[in-house]
């Protein structure tokens, strides 16, 4: 029997985030002429490197799109071959089998997601899930329905997959250093997701020593590891991790964006079918609490114990 092709709705867009273009293209393919005009130039560059016969995910297609701006919607729909543009995201109900919130402004996530979750529609929420404890508690109740996936795609990076094969050679991991661009809330989460995808860790406390346009956050894990993460508006868009162990070190450059996006989206479509969460909520919740703790520490200059952050 032929597998059902699931219809997806795409919701976006937020400043500096081209995921509505790239995520949709992974399902639908793309129009070369219009994708060349995409304001996020790197998207066209990595898409054109892919084999057009194999780049698309099977089993789902983005059929409907909503963004806050009609001009943006037209640009995305042309570039990523989305047939239908809706006036309000509420209009997606009854038209699609799943929804992707492809915008990384966490303040918008719960209001939008609740509408679909109440209708039992599976949803992928771009990182970070939220930026406050109150909404994290609200999301916790919905996670019990097995309808939510939320993460950074760096959790499923090709480079993380390869690093897992070599990590035992390092001995006992003592220190992890990570660096990335832009702000802590929406870009520090990339580094955290990659680390949690690589290792099983539990954070004990968080301390920020950052300044206005730079975040330097120290995490101490319950088993004694030190993790130092830095994000800055003053560096190029590079993501790196360095793991230091008792027998050596490992440098990880997180750069294959297409691979990590495709893998993440494949797990979401699988979740729609199986109703099984790819990531435990307890892990997602810890990552969000680390993000919140980093912001709190930067504001008040204090060490934040993660166990004190209840939701």
Tens of pLDDT, residue by residue over 178-206, are 999 999 999 999 999 999 999 999 999 99
Show contacts of 134-142: CB within 8 Å, 24+ apart.
134/311, 135/109, 135/110, 136/285, 136/288, 136/289, 136/311, 137/311, 138/110, 138/114, 139/110, 139/113, 140/281, 140/285, 140/311, 142/113, 142/114, 142/117
CATH 3.40.228.10 for domain 6-154+258-278? no
pLDDT at 174 over 70: yes
**Looking at residue 282, what is its pLDDT?**
97
| Pair of tokens at residue 309 | 């952050």
pLDDT at 214 over 90: no
Which of 127, 130, 162 is closest to 23 using CA atoms?
A: 127
Question: What is the tens place of the pLDDT at every residue in 44-54?
Answer: 999 999 998 89
**Looking at residue 1, what is its pLDDT?**
58
pLDDT at 120 over 80: yes
CATH 3.30.360.10 in the chain is located at 155-255+290-308
Sign of CA dihedral 42, 269, 240, 185: positive
**Looking at residue 210, what is its pLDDT?**
85
Residue 82 and residue 103: Cα distance in Å, rounded? 17
pTM equals 0.95
> For the CA atoms of 106, 110, 115, 121, what is the dihedral angle to 10 degrees?
80
For 155-255+290-308, CATH number out of 3.40.50.300, 3.40.50.2000, 3.30.360.10, 3.40.50.920 equals 3.30.360.10
CATH 3.40.50.720 in the chain is located at 6-154+258-278
| Beta bridge pairs of residue 229 | 178, 217
Cα of 25 vs its chain's centroid, Å: 17
Backbone phi, psi, residue 16, to 5°: 80, 10
**Model confidence at 255, in pLDDT bands (50, 70, 90)?**
very high
């Amino acid at each position: 029997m032929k597998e059902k092709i699931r219809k997806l709705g795409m919701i976006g867009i937020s400043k500096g985030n081209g995921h509505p273009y790239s995520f949709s293209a992974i399902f639908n393919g793309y129009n070369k002429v219009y994708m060349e005009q995409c304001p996020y130039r790197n998207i066209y560059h990595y898409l054109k490197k892919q084999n057009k016969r194999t780049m698309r995910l099977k089993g789902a297609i983005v059929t409907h799109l909503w963004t806050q701006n009609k001009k943006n919607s037209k640009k995305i729909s042309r570039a990523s071959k989305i047939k239908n543009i809706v006036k309000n995201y509420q209009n997606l109900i009854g038209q699609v089998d799943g929804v992707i919130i492809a915008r990384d402004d966490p303040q918008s996530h719960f209001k939008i997601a609740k509408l679909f979750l109440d209708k039992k529609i599976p949803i992928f929420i771009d990182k970070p899930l939220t930026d406050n404890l109150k909404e994290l508690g609200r999301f916790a109740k919905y996670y019990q329905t097995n309808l939510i996936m939320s993460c950074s795609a760096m959790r499923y990076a090709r480079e993380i997959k390869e690093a897992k094969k070599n990590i035992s050679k390092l001995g006992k991991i003592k220190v992890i250093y990570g660096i990335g661009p832009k702000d802590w809330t929406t870009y520090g989460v990339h580094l955290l997701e990659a680390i949690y995808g690589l290792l099983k860790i539990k954070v004990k406390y968080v301390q920020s020593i950052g300044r206005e346009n730079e975040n330097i956050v120290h995490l101490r894990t319950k088993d004694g590891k030190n993790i130092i993460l830095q994000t800055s508006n003053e560096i190029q868009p590079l993501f790196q991790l360095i793991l230091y162990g008792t027998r050596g070190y490992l440098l990880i450059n997180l750069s294959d964006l297409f691979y990590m996006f495709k893998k993440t989206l494949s797990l979401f479509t699988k979740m729609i079918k199986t109703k099984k969460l790819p990531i435990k909520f307890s892990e997602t919740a810890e990552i969000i609490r680390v993000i919140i703790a980093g912001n709190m520490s930067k504001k008040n200059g204090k060490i934040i114990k993660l166990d004190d952050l209840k939701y």
